Structure formats: structure tokens, C-alpha cells
Amino acid sequence: MKVENPPRKPFVARGSGVLRCDGCRLPQEVCICEWRYTVPAKCQFWLLTHRYELYKPTNTGRLILDSVENSRVFEWSRTEPSAELLAALDDERYAPCLVFPAGEDYQARMVERVGEGGRIPVFIILDGTWRQARRMFRHSRYLQHLPVIEPQTQRLSRYKLRRSTIDHHLCTAEVAVALLEQVGDQAAADHLEGYFERFNSSYIATRRRWAKREPE
């Protein structure tokens, strides 16, 4: 019998066979759960995450969830956003804003501050590769009414687990650190940055060990 809508093939991430800690998701031999706890912040982060990004062991979005209180994650859909996300966008308590580099064709949407009038500043980070994030930004109609903010930072990326040809393309966790500094929350920024550095160095260490074990 022909199946009209066969299920999609499961996405298998690189490193899926590695024994990982259930908490930090790093290989068990370099678990960093000792430093995994959340701290309060002056803003909130909502991650709008591409479905493939959810499974990647090198994803840094979850470091935000593990470090900053009240952070949330929603799986991105171009045409069928979750009811939970839409309800959050309409909640008057929040002042949501998309995080994305400035562009001439949406210059009128660019802002420098978020959260006027006592509303809670919310930074919506498009969590995926740069190509995925551009598609998410351009093709999500339910996001087109939101203001856009660009992180104001001179940081160069220290993320070494994925290649980027442009140094100022920060990874997701580094973007959140820059935004925390931008709103004057240095304590939360330092905590997230410290956790990110542990994640980065620990993951690199395991890659080096695996490389040494491979036969020449």
C-alpha cells in the first residue's frame, strides 16, 4: 500500500553515538554540570530554533537556557508557529525584539533600546546557521512587525567548534553575552560567558583526544 505522507527521515547529528551527560549534553568525560545553573537577568531570551539545530551537540543556544533564568525555546516554523510563541508575542508584559544585523530594507524597524514603559525586554535570537537565520528572518511573516536590534559589540568570536569566514559572526551564546552587556547586566553576562568558555574548551579537548585515538 502506498503511503501518501511518509514520515521524515530522523535527523542524525554528528557525534550522536557519543555517550553524553544528560544534563550539559557534553561527552561524559568532560561534563560541566558543576557549573550549570541559572542566574536572574534584566532581560529574557527566547530562542527561535531551526529544527536541525535542536539536535546538534555543538549548539550553544542551550547554554543560554542553562545559564539565564526565564529563557525559553521555540521550534521555528515558516508557516505554522506554535500557539505558545504567538501568545508570548501578544503578552503585554513583554517587549519582544528580533536580534539581527542592521539592513537598509528594514532600517525603520531598527532600535537601540528595548523595554520602555516598564515592560520586560525580550531578545528573540534566531538559532541556526547564518543561512538558516537569514531565511527565518526573511520568511516568517509573524515576526515582521517586531523591532530589530543589532548587538553593539567589538567582540570577535572565540567559538572554535564550527567554522566561520567572518570573525564578527558570533555564535548564539556570544550574542546573548553581548546583549546582556548592552543592557548593563554584567553579572549575568559574566556567568554565561564563563559557562560558554568551559563548554568551548571542554568540547575542543575531547576532539583532540578522539583525534589522537584514531589510527594513522
The pLDDT of residue 159 is above 50: no
| 88 within some domain | yes
Query: Is there a domain that residue 200 lies in?
Result: yes
Q: 3-class SS at 114?
A: coil
Assign 207 a pLDDT band (cuts: 50, 70, 90).
Answer: low
Other C-beta atoms within 10 Å of 123: how many? 26
Chain-centroid distance of CA 192 in Å reads 12
Q: Of 2-11, 40-49, 58-67, which gets the smallest average pLDDT?
A: 2-11
Between 68 and 130, the more confident residue is: 68
What's residue 191's pLDDT? Answer: 98
Q: Evaluate if residue 4 carries a pLDDT over 50.
A: no
Domain that holds residue 102: 39-152+169-205
Q: What is the DSSP string of 32-89?
A: -GGG---B--SSEEEEEE-TTGGG-TT--HHHHHHHBTT-EEEE--SS---HHHHHHH
* pLDDT, tens digit (0-9, with 9 covering 90-100), for 5-31: 445 555 444 445 678 888 888 888 889
User: 17 lies in a domain?
Assistant: no
* Whether residue 172 has pLDDT greater than 70: yes
Evaluate whether residue 57 is within a structural domain: yes
Residue 145 falls inside a structural domain: yes
Q: Is a pLDDT exceeding 80 seen at residue 162?
A: no
Q: Is there a domain that residue 5 lies in?
A: no
Number of domains in the chain: 1
Residue 161 lies in a domain: no
Average of per-residue pLDDT across 97-103: 95
Q: Is the pLDDT of residue 166 over 60?
A: no
Q: What CATH number is attached to the domain comprising 86?
A: 3.40.1280
Q: Is pLDDT larger for residue 116 or for residue 5?
A: 116
Query: Which amino acid is present at 91?
Result: D
Look up residue 68 and give its three cell numbers: 539565564
In a domain, 6, yes or no: no
